[in-house]
Structure 1
Amino acid sequence: MAKKKRNQLPSGNIRLRASYYDADGTRHQKNFTAPTKAEAEEMRDTWMKEHAAGSYAGDMTARNAVNRYIQLKRGVLSPSTVRGYITIAEHQMDGIADIDINKFNSRILQAWVSDLSAAYSAKTVRNIYALVAAALDMFRPEFRPRVTLPQKVRPQLYCPSDDDVRRLLDEVQGKPLEVAVLLAAFGPLRRGEISPLTAADLHGNILTVNKSMVADPDGGYVVKSAKTTDSNRAVELPQFVVDKLPKTGELCPMNPNMITMSFQRAVKRAGLPHFRFHDLRHYSASMMHALGIPDKYIQSRGGWASNSVLRSVYTNVIDMEQRRQDAVFLAHAEELTGNK
């Protein structure tokens, strides 16, 4: 039996889809069906040239296109994402910001990406380009740039040890930050999930996590629904953590930035290696992994969207634990053979 081709209908024809946005931000979409892919592509490209090209009257610079894109998408994006996009539009588009998007070609974009790569990390360059590419796809949908992006770099995360966490807890004992550290290390909760929590979210040892405090485009903070559907969860906390939580009001009266700043000072005072507040989630994942807890449970407890997300973010944490376990084995092997 012949293998079905991509976009092939039961009839054997090929169907392709194209869309564009007009000056009012309305999306127009059309399907094209033909016996071959080449014919369908020709029909699609002809339609795009007739309708999409010039759908926005007058000149539109790259910065204007990005700002217009942000405006049209604002209602469906998180406040923190909008804030990040605005930062890119205002500060990270040097080199192409004032160029008419109708004059863009792959060479111009490739040169710009190469210049960005000299100033920013691979991840940042990819984020900047992704926004510009999305704006171009909206306002010049017939343009298909060919750009090579910098290779992804695996982040070198630090995983706090049990001793690190003990020393940190000694340092923050009795201080507002103590609750945040406990919930991150033994929850494991994110900063944004900790800030909006109140005593009403705790029932016995079960903590309901269903909202997040995030930065808004104006520099303040808003409380919104959880980061993802999987972030909505009920977390059973150890009794020693529950005993430390306030019985009324806010569990941790600090916004995410306050948590970060207070945490950095606490790490320094405790004489610990520099690591981020978010690395306490790495500690929790590593600890559960070392105890032989299945990834599915770790994923559920931490609110990660999928096992692949968990592993892509925490692979080096698991590798670190593997090295620790290897060291224990090697030391035992050396002792067994008398080679101490």
Structure 2
Amino acid sequence: MIHMKIEKLPSGSYRIRKMYKGQMYTVVFNEKPTQKEAMQAMAAEPDKIKSKKYHLTFTEAAQQYTETKEHVLSPKTVKEYLEIPSRLTDDFTNKPIYDITQIDIQKEINILAKTLAPKTIRNYHGFISSVLGMFRPEMNISTTLPQKIKNEPYIPTDEDIKRLLQAAQGSMFEIPIKLACYGLRRSEICSLTIDDLNGNTLAIDSAKVLDKNNQWVEKQTKTTASTREIVISPQLADLIREHGYIYKGHPNSITKHMNRLQDELNMPHFSLHKLRHYFASYMSSLNIPEADILEMGGWETDYVMKNVYRHTMKDKLKTSQDKASNALSKILF
């Protein structure tokens, strides 16, 4: 007869444990059980856990999925993951995870497609797939997603930048806007301090983002490539030292101030992040190698660069087309 080891815990309770198919099962008793009681309780435990798992809803599974990754994901990503279930339909989020079928996923995506952009839908679908992948790794997910929309980003012109900086001169937003023209993200700018400036070099190794409690917190930069050093102009370095800080306001205030200035100047609205695209475009026009631009801007992949290059090449193509047309007209007419 097999005897199970019964452990007495410091609390006075009794515990039995058993490894079965790679998983440890534990049963706790208030009073010391007999061997028969211990065997019966342990025999029933796998079925109890299986039943509990089976009734786990998508919302509950999503919560567990996010919790298991909370300390390896950025606070911003954790916040987004926790919010996604509330943006899905109740029919989907309340459904037991083991009852969800490919048809359920496709229906949910079809509903979302009525109001959300294709990029957002792809993000939501990626999250749904990841949650199901953790709890149901055997499930084959093959969803038809909405076609991507070719987005031609507005990249500010040199004239836009000059007018905007002139209007921001002397304000607390002048330095953040100028730093964005060096390819810095808003989160990076808001995390910088005067101690990060050494001569004309800024060390970028942190970012300020919203966490799951809607509190602004400091974290590591977005990617490994984002941790970098950039060289700024002596004039900007002196301006920072003169102020004694880089930026002390609320991150959202930069965007609001830019929008107000853009209205006053009657220019197209563009976000602070678009100045990163301006940086890449301007560096490209100076024929700086792509690898150097990626490193200076802290990009891990060339996805953004390809979009910027397409924009730059389109302008160059128009110039070439005009030049070719003028040359041919001299011969033909």
Shorter-normalised TM-score: what interval?
0.7 to 0.9
1:65-93 deviation digits (Å, cap 9, x = unpaired): 11121122212111100111122122234
Q: Is the 8 Å Cα contact of residues 199 and 248 (structure 1) preserved in structure 2?
A: no
How far apart are the structure 2 equivalents of 1:104 and 1:295? 45
How far apart are the structure 1 equivalents of 2:23 and 2:251? 37
1:149-198 deviation digits (Å, cap 9, x = unpaired): 2233333211111001001111111111111110011x210000000111
Q: What amino acid does structure 1 have at the position aligned with 2:317?
A: D
Matched, 1:124 2:115: no
Unaligned runs of 5+ in 2: 1-20, 27-45
SS of the counterpart of 2:81?
helix
Residue correspondence of structure 1 range 153-302 to structure 2 within 5 A:
153-185=149-181, 187-247=182-242, 249-302=244-297
Distance 1:283 1:20, change over 3 A: farther
Matched, 1:150 2:172: no
Distance 1:59 1:202, change over 3 A: same
SS of the counterpart of 2:180?
helix
Distance 1:278 1:77, change over 3 A: same
Match of 2:78 in 1: 82
Aligned-residue RMSD, C-alpha = 2.7
How far apart are the structure 2 equivalents of 1:23 and 1:277? 53
Q: Is the 8 Å Cα contact of residues 54 and 98 (structure 2) preserved in structure 1?
A: no
Q: Is the 8 Å Cα contact of residues 158 and 275 (structure 1) preserved in structure 2?
A: yes
Which of 293, 298, 304 is equivalent to 1:313? 304
Match of 1:327 in 2: 318
**Higher alpha-carbon deviation: 241-250 or 120-129:** 241-250
1:90-124 deviation digits (Å, cap 9, x = unpaired): 22344401111111111111111111111211111
Q: How many residue pairs align between the two structures?
A: 291
How far apart are the structure 1 equivalents of 2:312 and 2:53? 58
How far apart are the structure 2 equivalents of 1:335 and 1:112? 55
**Higher alpha-carbon deviation: 203-212 or 132-141:** 132-141
1:237-281 deviation digits (Å, cap 9, x = unpaired): 122322332446431113432222222222222211121111101
Q: What amino acid does structure 2 have at the position aligned with 1:322?
A: M
Match of 2:298 in 1: 303
How far apart are the structure 2 equivalents of 1:125 and 1:22? 38
Distance 1:60 1:140, change over 3 A: same
Q: What amino acid does structure 2 have at the position aligned with 1:324?
A: D
Q: Is the 8 Å Cα contact of residues 188 and 280 (structure 1) preserved in structure 2?
A: yes
Q: What amino acid does structure 1 have at the position aligned with 2:311?
A: M
Q: What amino acid does structure 2 have at the position aligned with 1:229?
A: T
TM-score (norm 1): 0.78
Q: Is the 8 Å Cα contact of residues 193 and 246 (structure 2) preserved in structure 1?
A: yes
For the pair shown, the structure with the greater C-alpha radius of gyration is 2
How far apart are the structure 2 equivalents of 1:226 and 1:235? 14
How far apart are the structure 2 equivalents of 1:110 and 1:269? 46
How far apart are the structure 2 equivalents of 1:171 and 1:23? 67
Q: What amino acid does structure 1 have at the position aligned with 2:285?
A: A
How far apart are the structure 1 equivalents of 2:158 and 2:51? 60
Report percent identity of matched pairs.
32
How far apart are the structure 1 equivalents of 2:269 and 2:94? 40
SS of the counterpart of 1:157?
coil
How far apart are the structure 2 equivalents of 1:106 and 1:22? 31
